[in-house]
Structure 1
Amino acid sequence: MASFRLPPVAVALPGTGSDADFAARAFTHALSQAGVHVIAVEPDPSRLVGSYRDALDAAAAQHGPILAAGISIGASVALEWAIEHPDRAAGVLAALPAWTGDPADAPAARSAAYTAVRLRADGLQAVTSEMKATSPVWLGGELERSWRSQWPNLPLALDEASGYHAPTPEEMARCAVPVGICAAVDDAVHPHVVAQAWTRSLPQSALGTVTLDEIGADPSALGRVALDALQQVEPAATRRAVGLSG
């Protein structure tokens, strides 16, 4: 099987409430070893999705086709952009996809909406303390840092994320580029079944898995597993040839 040829530049989009620091640690190690320069995007919480799409557009205009990488909502925006711009996207790395299509019943969307309400009612310090008490230690530390950096506009980002309409299966079926997906098998907020549904819907995709403890010990596991999955994707031309010969 032919190996996927990586472009020279990747753009890494954080999850909701997260930041460029975590996105860089998630993707830079694996991609830099493969010769890919990673641009980790610092989100604008007052226009979360717009700031991500601007970063993707700017990188593609400067460097040509890029690898669009993201975590959670960042993965959805990266995939949506790649579907819309197959001439500018060489491929997608999607870590911890949170939902497909309508966010109404998604745990991540409900959590974002609830947190936005609590932040407005009780303030950053109280909600951060509660979050840290109910989260894995590593995640609490990550979010405490990124939440503070995005305050006071953090609730705007959470509101926007909670209403974001991710690509539907029908839209995914039109994706013309390969997609490597990484799911956490024990993450209730980013369910493994969502990543499995993405893999079924995308014509050129492969799925790898991690655990939350593995991410906590080394965030670069997200990028490594997603990149390994991308390299396993069978090119569409090869699949068509096999189908015709069989």
Structure 2
Amino acid sequence: MAVDLRGVTTVLLPGTGSDDDYVYRAFSGPLQRVGAQLVTPRPQPGQLIDGYVAALDTAAATGRIGVGGVSIGAAVAAAWALAHPDRAVAVLAALPAWTGAPGSAPAAAAARHSAAQLRRDGLAATTTQMRVSSPPWLAQELTRSWHAQWPQLPDAMEEAAEYVAPSRAELTRLAAPLGVAAAVDDPIHPLQVGVDWVSAAPHAALHVVTLDEIGADAAALGAACLAALGEL
């Protein structure tokens, strides 16, 4: 099935602890080139999931929309598309983190650990430790977004870590075409999750990237999602 996003409002949701600034840079160029109208809601750390769902509902009030996001944003977007099969044109899922319940998924464990550290040690000390253990580009991104979402950031991390993403059984009922971008070397967002999503959904394709490619150009994520959709 050909996916045409020209003139389609497309809502992209940030990952846990990330922000609308990053999602805009990841998707604006690729989506503008295909004529889509990008919407990037700012995360509300005190009501992360409800805020995302409200943004999707608002955008869909005037017509069918494209939906997507990064990590937890991708999961919320896919769940919304499942719940609104008549209103979702396509799903662009970058770095999906888990399928179904989070359990011991690396991204959920990392979010819980960061939330606990933030509550115990505060923003400055936790950010310093994060910068030591993260690639420079990611450390720079998270330093900015964590500061903007403080002091409610731990609440958002804990909420995201408990979110139940669509299961494989649910994804088999996804009517909208699904384009997934996964990184081959991301231990927090395993490639296998992207493979699982694509193997379960009836109209889906996967494009892979590396963390270095994402670090060099955030738009590599959006381009990979659109390339996957282009295969359908």
CA deviation vs aligned residue, 1:54-78 (integer Å, no higher than 9, x gap): 000000103x111101000000000
- Provide the residue aligned with 1:9 in structure 2: 9
2:10 corresponds to 1:22: no
Q: CA offset at residue 125 of structure 1?
A: 0.2
SS at match of 2:69: strand
Q: Distance in 1 between matches of 2:138 and 2:121?
A: 21
Work out the CA distance in 1 between the residues paired with 2:29 and 2:17: 22
Q: What does residue 71 of structure 2 align with? A: 72
For residues 8-35 of structure 1, the C-alpha deviation after alignment (integer angstroms, 9 at most, x for no partner) is 2100100000000000011110000111
Cα distance in 2 for partners of 1:200, 1:75 equals 16
Deviation at 1:5, TM superposition (A): 1.7
> Residue type matched to 2:163 in 1?
Y
Please tell me whether residue 157 in structure 1 is matched to residue 156 in structure 2. yes
What residue number does 1:227 align with? 226
Matched residue SS, 2:202:
coil
Note the C-alpha offset of 1:118.
0.5
| Aligned positions of 1:13-92 closer than 5 A | 13-62=13-62, 64-92=63-91
- What letter corresponds to residue 230 of structure 1 in structure 2? L
Identity of aligned residues (%): 51
Q: C-alpha distance in 2, partners of 1:5/1:19?
A: 27
> How far is the alpha carbon of 1:208 from its aligned partner?
0.1
State the match for 1:197 in structure 2.
Answer: 196
Q: Cα distance, 1:91 vs. partner?
A: 0.7
Hey, what's the Cα distance between the residues in 1 that align with 2:166 and 2:29? 28
2: distance between equivalents of 1:140 and 1:87?
Answer: 39
Deviation of the 1:3 alpha carbon: 2.6
Give the equivalent residue in structure 1 for 2:128.
129
Tell me which residue corresponds to 1:168. Answer: 167
Q: Distance in 1 between matches of 2:160 and 2:97?
A: 11
> Which amino acid letter does the alignment assign opposite residue 210 of structure 1?
V
Structure 1 unaligned regions, length at least 5: 234-246
Q: Does residue 100 of structure 1 match 2:99? A: yes
CA distance in 2, matches of 1:141, 1:42: 18
Larger Rg: 1
TM-score normalised by length of structure 2: 0.98
Residues 196-238 of structure 1: CA deviation (Å, up to 9, x unaligned): 01111111100000000000000000000101101212xxxxx
1:186 aligns with 2:185: yes
**3-state DSSP of counterpart to 1:70:** strand
Q: Which runs of 5+ in 2 are unaligned?
A: none
Q: Please list every run of at least 4 consecutive aligned residues from structure 1 whose deviation after the TM superposition is greater than 6 angstroms.
A: none
RMSD over equivalenced CA pairs, Å: 0.8
SS of structure 2 residue aligned to 1:47: helix
* TM superposition shift of 1:147: 0.2
